[in-house]
Amino acid sequence: MERHLRLRKELREEAGTGYWACSYLVADFLFGSSIPKDKIIIMKNAIELEPFKFNRQVRKDMRDEFGLSDRDRAIGCVGRFAYQKNQGFLLRVMKKLHRRSPGYKLVLVVDGADLDSCKEYVKENNLESAVIFTGYRSDVNRLMMAFDSLAMPSHFEGLGIALIEAQASGLMCYASEAVPREVGVTENIEFLPLIEEV
């Protein structure tokens, strides 16, 4: 980000003929009001759809790998463990949800700076049977098929490509109100406030 700002200053903003961003929220963050809106071009991130096409056998294989039964309701969350992604919020919600309905499982994919504190929270709150940490995975498309829904409780987000991938897999998605609306490419997405009531 610092490099971007330094280059922008060095090259003089008015010299550019077009400024690109993946969402209006990102454009506002990167350029603010210093760039005329008619010079801003929104280029949405794209994904290859075929790898996310639902496959019943892949679903069974992935659920078997993580010990998920047919009755378990798997909520996925894909994103590095960091303040921005807000997995701590999901863990607090899962704590309440698990008390009411132990069939819910939270599957957290990837790793990051806040991973250890999240694992500690799970242990302190006896949620080991309700939360699965997968670590980094190169087969997120296959993991999506194991989920019943995807949650993205981000404090802020550029676009949220995992939500687009989840919608391509046919999942119902729940995103915080901080996620750009452009990520809603199907009707399978709901934007919610970050309220921990269950």
pLDDT digits (tens, 9 = 90+) for 130-160: 999 999 999 999 999 999 999 999 999 988 9
CA atoms of 149 and 6, how far apart (whole Å): 40
Domains of the chain: 2-42 (no CATH), 50-192 (3.40.50.2000)
Tokens at residue 80, please? 């590095």
Tokens at residue 126, please? 């006896």
Question: 43, exposed or middle or buried, with CB in 10 Å at 0-12, 13-18, 19+?
Answer: exposed
- pLDDT exceeds cutoff 80 at 190: yes
CA atoms of 44 and 161, how far apart (whole Å): 10
What is the pLDDT at residue 13? 59
- Alpha carbon distance, N-terminus to C-terminus of the chain: 37
pTM: 0.83
Residues comprising the chain, all counted = 198
